[in-house]
């Protein structure tokens, strides 16, 4: 087993890091307590470091780099979750968000198993970057999957995130095949992801899914712009304004033809 210091020095991406060292350490960016926006009830939200998408609107661009972050033993996270358990109530629990959690799927699977042993609900907020046996095992331990579908059209998805949406759709299909709950999340960006034809296409793609409990619309905001500037990175959506009330209402109206519950965050 390598020391934390050695792990930080490793010039490899997180998913390989786990494989190399078989570690119980999770590379995290930050932890939020009493989160109410990432899954059911009140939650402890663990933001992991590293993401292979580069969304133009990313509000936390400091979580994208695969290096960086801090390594924390999952038992430390379990201990913190147990301390907060009285606040979780019936619905709450722990959400792992990011960054992209699937990049560290093996260790998060272990974390979720431990949380389940302690009777704590688990949620995974993922961009659906990949699906393999370890990802499937992690999804088995995930009570609610919050799946970010950035765009239904592959070309637009590539423009927005730098990557294809094929794996995202595969993750959605796999989740549906397991019969376990899923929420979709959709960032609404004027001129980029608000095209009526694609909103309908997204609805058509998912309308028969029985596991989708709701779709959450996340209106684009510019709160992360200063972080891009601080990191010396160019912000790709300069000049794009948050969606108007009309755009949001029109999107809700389209989605309501396909989904039973729509929430605007
Ligand atoms: S998937 Fe999430 S963390 Fe990754 S770049 Fe996009 S918004 Fe940022």
Residues 176, 184: Cα–Cα separation, whole Å: 12
Q: What is the DSSP letter of 5?
A: H
Ligand 1 pocket residue status of 100, Cβ below 6 Å: yes
Taking only the tens place, the pLDDT of each residue in 35-46 is 999 999 999 999
Check if 149 has its Cβ closer than 6 Å to any atom of ligand 1.
Answer: no
Sign of CA dihedral 222, 223, 229, 232: negative
Residue 239: which region, alpha, beta or left (left: phi > 0; alpha: psi -120 to 50)?
A: left
Cα gap 129→139, rounded to integer Å: 13
Nearest CA, atom 3, ligand 1 = 99
Is the minimum distance from the CB of 228 to ligand 1 under 6 angstroms? no
Query: Residue 203: pLDDT above 90?
Result: yes
Ligand 1 centroid to Cα of residue 50, in Å, is: 9
Kindly list the distances between the CA atom of residue 248 and the CA atoms of 185, 202, 233, 245, in Å, as whole numbers in the listed order. Answer: 14, 16, 29, 5
Instruction: Report which secondary-structure segment, H or E, holds 95.
Output: strand 93-97
Residue range(s) defining the domain that contains residue 144: 4-264
Count how many domains the chain has: 1
**β-pairing, 262-264 with 212-219?**
parallel
b/e map of 1-26 (b: 16 or more CB within 10 Å)? eeeeeebeeeeeebbebbeeeebbbb
Measured in Å, residue 53 CA sits from the centre of ligand 1 at 6
Judged against a pLDDT cut of 80, whether residue 13 lies above it is answered with no
Instruction: For residue 60, give the ligand 1 atom closest to its CA.
Output: 8
The residue with tokens 């794996």 is: 167
Mean of the per-residue pLDDT values of the chain: 92
Q: Quick check: CB of 183 below 6 Å from ligand 1? A: no
Smallest Cα–Cα separation from 184: which of 265, 242, 99? 265
The response to whether residue 66 sits with its C-beta less than 6 Å from ligand 1 reads no
- Burial label, 179 (beta-carbon count in 10 A; 0-12, 13-18, 19+): exposed
Q: Is 101 in the pocket of ligand 1 (CB under 6 A)?
A: no
Query: Is 64's C-beta closer than 6 angstroms to any atom of ligand 1?
Result: yes
- Report the CATH number at residue 168: 3.20.20.70
Distances in whole angstroms, Cα of residue 23 to Cα of each of 14, 105, 123: 11, 12, 21
Confidence band for 165, pLDDT divided at 50, 70 and 90: very high
Predicted confidence (pLDDT) per residue in 79-131, tens digit: 999 999 999 999 999 999 999 999 999 999 999 999 999 999 999 999 999 99
Q: What are phi and psi of 63, to 5 degrees?
A: -90, -5
- Per-residue pLDDT band for 7 (boundaries 50, 70, 90) equals very low
CA distance 102 to 109: 10
CA distances for 249 relative to 36, 193, 194, 229, 253, angstroms: 23, 14, 11, 32, 6
Distance of CA 259 to the CA centre of its chain: 20
121 lines ligand 1 (CB under 6 A): no
Report the percent of the chain where pLDDT is more than 70: 92
For 89-126, give one letter per residue: b (16+ CB within 10 A) or e. Answer: eeebbbbbbbbbbbbbbbbbbbbbbbbeeeebbbbbbb
Q: Which atom of ligand 1 is nearest to the CA of 51?
A: 4
């Amino acid at each position: 087993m390598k020391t934390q210091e050695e792990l930080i020095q490793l010039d490899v991406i997180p998913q390989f890091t786990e494989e190399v060292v078989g570690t119980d350490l999770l590379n995290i960016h930050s932890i939020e307590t009493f989160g109410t926006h990432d899954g059911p009830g009140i939650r402890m939200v663990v933001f992991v470091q590293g993401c292979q998408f580069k969304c133009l609107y990313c509000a936390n661009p400091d979580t994208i780099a695969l290096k960086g972050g801090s390594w924390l033993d999952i038992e430390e996270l379990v201990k913190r979750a147990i301390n907060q358990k009285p606040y979780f109530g019936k619905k709450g629990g722990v959400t792992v968000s990011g960054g992209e959690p699937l990049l560290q799927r093996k260790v998060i699977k272990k974390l979720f198993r431990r949380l389940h042993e302690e009777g704590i609900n688990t949620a995974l907020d993922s961009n659906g970057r990949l699906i393999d046996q370890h990802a499937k095992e992690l999804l088995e331990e995930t009570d609610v999957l919050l799946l970010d579908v950035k765009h239904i059209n592959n070309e637009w998805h590539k423009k927005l995130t730098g990557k294809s949406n094929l794996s995202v759709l595969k993750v959605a299909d796999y989740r549906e095949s397991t019969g376990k709950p899923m929420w979709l999340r959709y960032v609404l960006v004027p001129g980029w992801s608000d095209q009526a034809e694609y909103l309908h296409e997204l609805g058509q793609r998912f309308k028969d899914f029985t596991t989708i409990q709701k779709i959450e619309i996340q209106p684009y905001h510019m709160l992360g712009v200063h972080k891009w500037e601080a990191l010396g990175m160019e912000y790709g959506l300069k000049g794009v304004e948050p969606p108007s009330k009309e755009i949001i209402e029109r999107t809700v109206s389209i989605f309501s033809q396909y989904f039973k519950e729509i929430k605007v965050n």
